[in-house]
């Protein structure tokens, strides 16, 4: 993996863990994530529209933009449902882990991307570390439960991560990542617009927290834009695996900030993830 791609992904990982923790603290996570998409659209508009006016919109990017809007809308909904009933420090690793496990397989079939032996070991370690986080002992009394429905939503979130990663790898080969991200966020905002009527009370409740929503929006948009640029520089399997450095941060945030369980056991699982990311970083 190139140093430039790794640097982009490391920055994205920190931003990603942060905005997910902010989303978990929302009262209605689905509404929170939709409002964040609206704010992200506003933040990206000046930059994305300028690039579109300069370069134009290639027609062959259209199907990928449309596809990623649909998948991302499902992703935000599934993620919000996961956080409603499950602990952040458990939902987050499972959702990310499913994507890490599936993306190299799909990328091999679609892009004929072959991981090196060291890269394959790295991806396997990331998946193993994530699995260990799911079965960790020592959750504090009163911590969020882990019902089957929450696990199902987390797995669905992971499936959407794998799907949009493959779509976006192809999409940013045809369109600059900044307008690509703008169109993605704008599309998700439109898809979620019925929430204004369907969850009117929740929208009214979340709006006073506009500063937190705006911060999450900027972090989210910047994090994934960095990932889109990294897709242009490295194999998708390496980018998705290295991005899971965010799981190390989610272990810390979930234990210390959200008070979901002991830090030590979670750091043990996160260390396995970190070892896997190091293997990916050294792989070619």
Up-side HSE of residue 219: CA atoms within 13 Å toward CB? Answer: 18
Contacts of residue 36, defined as CB under 8 A and 6 or more positions apart, other chains included, come to 19, 23, 213, 216, 217, 220
Q: How far apart are CA 204 and CA 182, in angstroms?
A: 25
Cβ–Cβ under 8 Å, residues 18 and 219:
yes
Dump pLDDT digits (tens) for 65-113: 999 999 999 988 888 888 777 776 667 777 777 777 777 777 777 777 7
Mean pLDDT of 120-131: 77
Dump pLDDT digits (tens) for 169-225: 999 999 999 999 999 999 999 999 998 898 899 999 999 999 999 999 999 999 999
Cβ–Cβ under 8 Å, residues 181 and 71:
no
Cβ–Cβ under 8 Å, residues 259 and 30:
no
Domain boundaries, the chain: 3-282
Structure token pair of residue 275: 């070892």
The mean pLDDT value of the chain amounts to: 82
Task: Report angle CA 255, 153, 280 to the nearest 5 degrees.
Answer: 65
Coil, strand or helix at 101: helix
Structure token pair of residue 1: 């993996």
Q: How far apart are CA 32 and CA 217, in angstroms?
A: 10
């Amino acid at each position: 993996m190139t140093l430039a791609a790794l640097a982009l992904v490391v920055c994205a990982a920190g931003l990603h863990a942060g905005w997910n923790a902010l989303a978990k603290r929302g009262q209605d996570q689905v509404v929170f994530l939709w409002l964040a998409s609206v704010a992200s659209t506003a933040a990206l508009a000046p930059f994305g529209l300028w690039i579109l006016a300069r370069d134009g919109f290639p027609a062959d990017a259209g199907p990928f933009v449309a596809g990623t809007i649909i998948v991302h809308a499902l992703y935000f909904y599934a993620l919000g449902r996961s956080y409603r009933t499950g602990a952040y420090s458990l939902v987050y690793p499972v959702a990310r882990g499913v994507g890490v496990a599936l993306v190299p397989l799909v990328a091999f079939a679609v892009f004929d991307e072959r991981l090196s032996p060291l890269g394959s070991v790295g991806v396997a370690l990331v998946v193993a570390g994530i699995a260990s986080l799911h079965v960790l002992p020592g959750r504090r009394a009163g911590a969020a439960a882990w019902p089957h429905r929450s696990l199902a939503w987390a797995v669905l979130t992971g499936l959407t991560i794998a799907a949009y990663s493959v779509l976006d790898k192809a999409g940013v080969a045809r369109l600059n990542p900044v307008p690509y991200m703008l169109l993605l966020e704008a599309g998700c905002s439109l898809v979620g617009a019925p929430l204004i009527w369907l969850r009117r009370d929740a929208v009214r409740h979340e709006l006073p927290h506009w500063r937190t929503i705006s911060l999450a929006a900027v972090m989210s948009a910047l994090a994934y834009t960095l990932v889109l640029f990294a897709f242009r520089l490295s194999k998708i399997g390496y980018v998705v695996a290295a991005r899971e450095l965010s799981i190390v941060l989610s272990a810390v945030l979930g234990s210390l900030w959200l008070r979901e369980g002991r830090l030590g056991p979670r750091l043990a699982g996160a260390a396995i993830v970190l070892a896997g990311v190091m293997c990916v970083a050294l792989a070619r």
